[in-house]
Amino acid sequence: KTAIVLENIKKVYNMGETQIFALKGISLTIREGEMVAIMGPSGSGKSTLLNIMGCLDRPTGGTYYLGGEDVSRLNRNQLALIRNKRIGFVFQSFNLLGRFPVLANVQLPLVYAGVGKKEMADRAREALDWVGMLKYADHYPGQLSGGQQQRVAIARALVNNPSLILADEPTGALDSRTSIEIISVIQRLNIEKGITVVMVTHEKDIALYCRRLINVKDGRILGDTPVANPGNAA
Ligand code: ADP
Ligand code: ADP
């Protein structure tokens, strides 16, 4: 089964008089259970591509099938629903809410999903336990290290049982030892939970923990190759 099918995806940003052609016709199929890295220089369109895959933004042209369903013509509310049900996000800067304890941060996607209070707490604790952060449930993000915050962010990403996780430079703010620990958690998401993972990174050694490497340049795919011996971060 396919997780993501992109057919000739284009994205144009209108900046007053000028148009920026951020994606110039991207075609790509990612099957369920894959773990894919996207690399490319700054400004090549990686974030734009991830935003479209994540239903955060709509393509200017082309067709996007998410789990077999054409989502390229859905409106903002419909996209928000799909996002909440099926996609988890992990960011470089963790994006946790500093005024709320860890448990509340992890529960957040469930609030939008309308889950009851008791079930929210149970599921958030389960997700925190899975990333090894249950004992920090009552801490605040500011009391945690970068690696711990990213674990919490991963718990938040998986609390809705998504079929797809999109990670934008998930190790970009971490030292190399902590980066490997986080990659190990992401590999477990992929292998133990069978979640499809698409990760943007500019670090080649991090990309080589994925099983497939896609190179983007100037809004186009320059290369798409399997990784011969993907690293095992466990
Ligand atoms: P990358 O993630 O590879 O650095 P981006 O997808 O962020 O690349 O950007 C691709 C191109 O699109 C760049 O030229 C960038 O300046 C432009 N761009 C990205 N987002 C916007 C936006 N919201 N408005 C206008 N231009 C944008
Ligand atoms: P990154 O590549 O690290 O994710 P960027 O600097 O490319 O971050 O983009 C950060 C945000 O700014 C994104 O939401 C992107 O869409 C927006 N952006 C990028 N380039 C431009 C631009 N030229 N004009 C307006 N917004 C932009």
Q: Cα(71) to centroid of ligand 2, in Å?
A: 23
Q: What pLDDT score was predicted for residue 115?
A: 87
Nearest to 197 by CA among 159, 151, 158, 229: 158
Ligand number nearest CA of 173 is: 2
The answer to whether residues 29 and 5 touch, using CB atoms and an 8 Å cutoff, is yes
- Report the share of the chain in percent with pLDDT over 90: 97
Kindly tell me if the per-residue pLDDT of 55 is higher than 90.
yes
Checking if the pLDDT of 50 tops 90, the result is yes
Inform me whether the pLDDT recorded for 92 exceeds 90: yes
- What per-residue confidence (pLDDT) applies to 112? 80
pLDDT tens, residue by residue, 181-192: 999 999 999 999
Q: How confident is the model over 215-228, as pLDDT tens digits?
A: 999 999 999 999 99
User: What share of the chain has pLDDT > 70, as a percent?
Assistant: 100
120 lines ligand 1 (CB under 6 A): no
Average pLDDT value for residue range 163-176: 96
| pLDDT (tens digit per residue) in 145-167 | 999 999 999 999 999 999 999 99
Distance CA 191, CA 200 (A): 19
Structure tokens at 123: 């599921």
Quick check: CB of 88 below 6 Å from ligand 1?
A: no
**Mutate which of 47, 48, 171 for ligand 2 pocket (most atoms within 8 A of beta carbon):** 47
The dihedral over CA atoms of 200, 204, 209, 210, expressed in degrees to the nearest 10, equals: 50
The amino acid occupying position 229 is N
**What's at 198, amino acid-wise?**
V
Cα 230 to ligand 1 centroid, rounded to whole Å: 29
Across the range 54-59, mean pLDDT stands at: 95
> Which tops the pLDDT comparison, 111 or 210?
210
Helices (H), the chain: 46-53, 76-86, 102-113, 117-130, 146-158, 176-193, 204-207
Q: What is the mean pLDDT of the chain?
A: 96
Residue 26's pLDDT is: 98
Residue among 9, 12, 13 to mutate when testing ligand 1 (max atoms within 8 A of CB): 13
| Confidence at 113, pLDDT banded by 50, 70, 90 | confident
How far is Cα 27 from Cα 5, in angstroms, rounded to an integer?
Answer: 8
For ligand 1, the distance from its centroid to the CA atom of residue 51, given in whole angstroms, is 11
Which ligand minimizes its atom distance to the CA of 56? 2
pLDDT at 114: 82
Question: Which residue, chain included where needed, has tokens 């920090």?
Answer: 136
Task: Read off the pLDDT of each residue in 196-224 and give the average, rounded to a whole number.
Answer: 96
135-154 average pLDDT score: 98
Centroid of ligand 2 to alpha carbon of 120 (angstroms): 33
How big is the chain by its Cα radius of gyration, in Å? 17
Q: Which residue's alpha carbon is at the smallest distance from atom 2 of ligand 2?
A: 47
